[in-house]
Amino acid sequence: MSIIKILFCVTFLLLLSVLIFQISSSDATDDSALYVSESNRLQYIINSEFPIEEDEIVFNWQYSSLKTKTTNSSSTWTITSTPLIVGEYTYVACDDTIYKLKTSTGACVCTAKREFNGPSFYHYLGYGGNVIIDYNKGQLFDLDLKQFASLNKTIKGSWYHDGKHYVVFSESGSVLKLKALTVNSGDKNSIKYSSLNLDVTGWYGMYGQFSAPVFKDNQMYYISTTTTKDDSGSTIPDKIMLNWVNLESGEKKTLNLNLNGRYLDDGWLTLDGNNMYLPTYSSGLFNVGDERSAITCIKLSDGGGMKEEFTKFFDESGITSNFIVYNNRGYINVNLSSKESSDRQAKMYVFDMTTFGADSSPIYKTTTCYTHGGIVLNKYGSEENGLVHIYLVPYESGTITGNYLCMVEDGPNHIKSRMVSYKSASSGNSGAHNYSTQTIRAGAHGELLWYRDLGQVVCFTSIEDKKYTIFLEHNGDAKWVELTENELRGIGNSNITISDKTITSYSIDDSTVDNFKLYYYRDGLGWVNQFKNSYGKTITLNSTIGNSEGSAYRIINTSGGGVINYLILSDSIDAPSESDVYYNKNNGDRISLGSYLSDRNLLGALLTKTEPQIVPALPGYSVQGKAETNPVETTITVTIEKKQDSVNLENPMLLVIAQYEKNVAVNVYSKVGPFIDNKVVEKVKVSSPSLQLITIDLVDGFQEGVYTSYGTYSYIQGSSQPEPEPDFMLNGGETITLNSGQVYRIDLADPRMFQELKTVRLLDMDEVEIPGSTVEVTDIAYPTEPVGNRYHLRFTLKITAPSFDLAFLTDGYVTIMVKIVGNEPLLTLDESTVTTNATTLDSGKTYKIDYTYNGVKDSLGEMKVYSGNFEVIPDYTIVTKDVRFSQDSSGVRHLYFLLTVTGPSVESAYLTDGDIMFLVKIVGS
């Protein structure tokens, strides 16, 4: 069997034998441990490379589940959870669904169903050790959102420390129990509880949030409270207590703090050495108190010793943030109450922690934004310049500090701050500010994310990292291109080339000059024509693009919730759909427009609407090898046998690709001698030091780019047996055809290191598992070092499934597009005879139909069973799928589809959609 491959490296000609030269190298990608930013516990101090100045950042994306419901009552408040970030992905939950989003783009990669307990103001996800814990019923998911177990109890909070999950369960009534467990991701039988089973009733939480504990070695501290009623009957705080727990023995101690009647925001605790800090206040969002805001210091000692040292009061009484201590400086943000200021504003205090006490004056305090969330300190670069940056997200915007994300810059020599209000970066996107009761989380690559009470998660990034993926189409030719923010702003100043066609003059506005139209992709709504939505603003892409409100990239950013990084610019698409089909000009692969929304492997590939005529692969050659190696050189004896009916090669050559450590790859050619009795033997020699892999392909002449291999032999250095010849060598983006029940050897290459292969499923383009399909993956091999500049995943694959025109195999990380040739019986039906000769159909069985007809038909309607009197016969379920139309070389038109009819027996009836019709006999089950 001949295989299509792609040649990337420079080639040399050597006759008879081969000598290897080093020609290129690059550093391998360092994929270290997964980055984590938790949903239910604020990471006070981050180390994230994020731009400082306002003109260096840009709004990236906004995500809101279509299941979001917001009112003024927690009894109906159903919103997106506070985000959990693990590695390259962000996880959020809303209603009965958990979503996995690509952090860089906001694209929804996959979803999972969860049991939903009901509405609340705040929702969280627990995480630790590659396990996601949903609070509603304690469902456990892996990072691909595959549920593998359940704790079968409602959870109030879950935190991960020293390899264990510490979980607070809601027992009968208001009783809360703290338990510890371990679990291995994906293994439902690995859940093991420790002996810890501690009553923690009264643990502080309100409106759905639950205050996070602080861990110190084998100890844990948490806040508990009691409540009382005021004169109006409303619940108000009463006693506030700090609790200590020995996690090994279960011993517990409680300190009643002298803070009765004061408010806690999220119940933030800050540990600095042996000092624990707790902020409190008296004026909330809807009330004004008489007492000033404060920070209380509790001295800790061994064995659970706790002593209330002092309480430092501020000049203001409003909501108070968490307290951050870094490099001997303390930072805290205190809101002004409505009585203290008619404008929503706050003050940030900066203290010298070497002298901090009840009577300390700040080094300075500065005006900031009014928040109802915490503050986060970014220490990136502080070792070089001493500067730190504190981020705040406003709850209500005021006129003094601006409307958007704010940052305060501080350093050891500062006696006042420098504050940046990122207003213009959010211009046109009012959804990025106001009503944010949480502060920022940092993504793995410097993205800044936060949650809003109205149910959105928003993301900002640097202007260099912001990417738009644009599908350009002109007269049926198309390709995906990727533009940065700056490139998109200047799109009108440069030509865009599709194949040999260049778009040199276009604008997009109400008059649609040159008939080009712009669409953007929005999750849940698919492709939306910008001119048919409610935003109603004109878009012009031309040389006048700049920073004005009318710029294309600004209007795109006002598109509301969902992914807005994917665009279509076309003069021929009227109503784009995710199921629109294109073909790769290089190899004829069939490609769904929607399948690449979160996969950029096709960037730059030339596509077309016209299905190319691909010449069927001719039988190949048998290429076998035997390797002999020593420290100096490796010799491969290659035996080539011509199979029956194989194509004759005009210039047979061996293309030898030797791949070494540090991404060194060398391609050379060796001339193949004359075949004697359809057989020839050649020797190939390569240098042994640092050798990893040799791949030898039989080709016809010198090759460039995509080439045909008529036989392949591979040798992995150090292996005692030669690597089996793969049936498919994949680089990502290809669509391969698989026969149901047949075994294939797959070699999948990727610039990223492969994770452990999880359960592989066969899904349709709506990400629904195909009924009746089974996927068997065996003989999995994960080379841990890159070969050339790519890692390889090798495995044996067997799929049993019905025919399917376009589907994909995935474990949530690895994805392969496939066409399945099932084993359903083929029924060939001719329009001229199908109404006289009955076709027998077994109830519930799927058939492949080839229906030939005259005239014009481009769609298949809903099919029904009719009697001889043309009355509908009830109780039949009819399923048609994978419908396609074609015309053969003789001009005969064909309608192909899969047909399943389920129902009772009938001796003679008609099956029709009102256009095509054929006589059937149905054998009931």
| Across 46-50, 175-179, 553-557, 713-717, least confident range | 553-557
Confidence of residue 733 (pLDDT cuts 50, 70, 90): low
Task: Give percent of the chain with pLDDT exceeding 70.
Answer: 72
The pLDDT value recorded for residue 360 is 95
Mean pLDDT of 768-773: 78
DSSP H helix total and E strand total for the chain: 3, 72
Q: What is the mean pLDDT of residues 572-578?
A: 71
Q: Which residue has better confidence, 96 or 540?
A: 96
Q: Does the pLDDT at position 684 exceed 70?
A: yes
The whole-number pLDDT of residue 270 equals 93
Alpha helices, DSSP H, located in 485-590: 485-489, 552-556
What is the enclosing helix (H) or strand (E) of 417? none
pLDDT of amino acid 425: 42
**Distance in angstroms (rounded) separating the CA atoms of residues 210 and 158:** 10
Whole-number pLDDT of residue 17:
30
Q: Which residue has the tokens 């865009």?
A: 496
Per-residue pLDDT band for 587 (boundaries 50, 70, 90) equals low
> Residue 147: is its pLDDT beyond 80?
yes
The predicted model gives 509-526 an average pLDDT of 50
Pairing state between β 376-378 and 388-392: antiparallel
pLDDT the model gives residue 771:
74
pLDDT bracket for residue 725 (50, 70, 90): low
The Cα 42–Cα 918 span in angstroms is: 66
What percent of the chain is modeled with pLDDT above 90? 20
- For 333, the 3-state DSSP assignment is strand
Kindly tell me if the per-residue pLDDT of 513 is higher than 60.
no
Structure tokens at 244: 């200590």
Sign of CA dihedral 902, 906, 907, 911: negative
SS3 of residue 885 by DSSP: strand
> Cα–Cα distance between 407 and 478 in angstroms, integer?
43
Q: Are 350 and 361 in contact (CB under 8 A)?
A: no
Residue 264 neighbours by CB under 8 Å, 6+ apart = 204, 211, 223, 225, 237, 240, 278, 279, 280
Instruction: Please say whether the dihedral angle defined by the alpha carbons of residues 175, 180, 184 and 187, taken in this order, is positive or negative.
Output: negative
> Band of the pLDDT at 76, cuts 50, 70, 90?
low
727 CB-near residues (< 8 Å, 6+ apart): 1, 3, 744, 745, 746
Whole-number Cα distances in Å, 435 to 370, 440, 674, 823: 10, 13, 78, 57
Q: Which residue, among 390, 393, 350, 349, has the nearest Cα to 371 in the 3D structure?
A: 393
- Quickly tell me which residue has 């549920």 as its tokens: 147
Q: How confident is the model over 471-497, as a mean pLDDT?
A: 62
Mean pLDDT, the chain, as a whole number?
A: 76
CA–CA separation, 88 vs 36, rounded Å? 9
Q: Which one-letter amino acid corresponds to residue 829?
A: L
Please tell me which residue, 562 or 859, carries the higher pLDDT value. Answer: 859
What pLDDT, on a 0 to 100 scale, did the predictor assign at position 861?
A: 86
Residue 67 has pLDDT above 70, yes or no: no
- What integer pLDDT is reported at residue 452 of this predicted model? 74
Question: What pLDDT does residue 462 have?
Answer: 84
Q: pLDDT higher for 785 or 763?
A: 763
Average pLDDT over residues 211-215: 92
Which of the four pLDDT bands, split at 50, 70 and 90, describes residue 279?
very high
Q: What is the pLDDT of residue 850?
A: 83
Quote the CA–CA distance of 378 and 405 in Å, as a whole number.
Answer: 14
Confidence label for 12 from pLDDT (cuts 50, 70 and 90):
very low
Of the pLDDT bands very low, low, confident and very high (cuts 50, 70, 90), residue 4 is: very low
- H or E segment to which residue 300 belongs: strand 294-301
Which token pair is 908? Answer: 């003679």
Flag the least confident range among 506-510, 583-587, 757-761.
Answer: 506-510
pLDDT at residue 419, as a whole number: 58
Q: What are 174-205's pLDDT values in tens digits?
A: 889 999 999 998 888 889 999 999 999 999 88
- Please name the amino acid found at residue 461: T
In this prediction, residue 628 carries a pLDDT of 84
690 against 508, higher pLDDT: 690
| Segment 876-888 mean pLDDT | 80
Dig out the tokens for 46 from the structure.
């981050």
Could you give the CA distance from residue 844 to residue 411 in angstroms, rounded to a whole number? 73
C-alpha angle 50/56/58, rounded to 5°? 85
The model's confidence at residue 158, banded by pLDDT at 50, 70 and 90, is: very high
Transcribe 148-160 into DSSP letters. Answer: EEE--S-EEEEEE
Q: Is the pLDDT of residue 3 over 60?
A: no
Q: Point out the least confidently predicted range of 479-483, 614-618, 827-831, 841-845.
A: 614-618
- The winner for highest mean pLDDT among 336-345, 356-365, 801-810 is 356-365
CA distance 297 to 184: 39
* pTM given for the model: 0.59
What are the backbone angles phi and psi of residue 708, rounded to the nearest 5°? -105, 125
Contacts of 7 (CB under 8 A, 6+ apart): 655, 667, 703, 704, 705, 706, 707
Highest mean pLDDT among 191-205, 278-292, 745-759: 191-205
How far, in Å, CA of 379 to CA of 99, rounded?
30
Q: Which residue has the higher pLDDT, 827 or 512?
A: 827
Strands (E), 760-844: 761-763, 774-781, 791-800, 804-810, 815-821, 826-830, 839-842
Q: Is the model's pLDDT at 14 over the cut of 60?
A: no
Report whether pLDDT(20) > 60: no
Local confidence band at 278 (pLDDT 50, 70, 90 cut-offs) = very high
The reported pLDDT for the residue numbered 120 is 58
Q: Which of 286-300, 356-370, 599-613, 724-738 has the highest mean pLDDT?
A: 356-370
Model pLDDT for residues 28-63, shown as the tens digit of each residue? 223 336 889 898 888 899 999 888 877 777 777 777
Q: Using 50, 70 and 90 to split pLDDT, how confident is the model at 218?
A: very high
User: Which bin fits 642, alpha (ψ -120 to 50), beta or left (φ > 0)?
Assistant: beta
The secondary element (H helix, E strand) that includes residue 383 is helix 382-385
Q: Between residues 687 and 787, which one has the greater pLDDT?
A: 687
Least confident of 318-327, 537-546, 698-707: 537-546
CA distance 460 to 446: 9
Per-residue pLDDT band for 510 (boundaries 50, 70, 90) equals very low
Order of strands, sheet of 305-313, starting from the edge strand that comes earlier in the sequence: 270-272, 275-280, 294-301, 305-313
d(CA 31, CA 634): 31
Retrieve residue 447's tokens: 């993205």
When pLDDT is averaged across residues 281-293 and rounded to a whole number, the result is 77
pLDDT of residue 790: 63
Higher pLDDT, 606 or 684: 684
**Which stretch, 64-68, 310-314, 464-468, has highest mean pLDDT?**
310-314
pLDDT tens per residue, range 297-315: 999 999 999 999 999 999 9
C-alpha of 890 from chain center: 47
Burial 345-377 (b: 16+ CB within 10 A, else e): bbbbbbbeeeebeeeeebbebbbbbbbbbbbbb
Give residue 487's pLDDT band: very low, low, confident or very high (50, 70, 90).
low
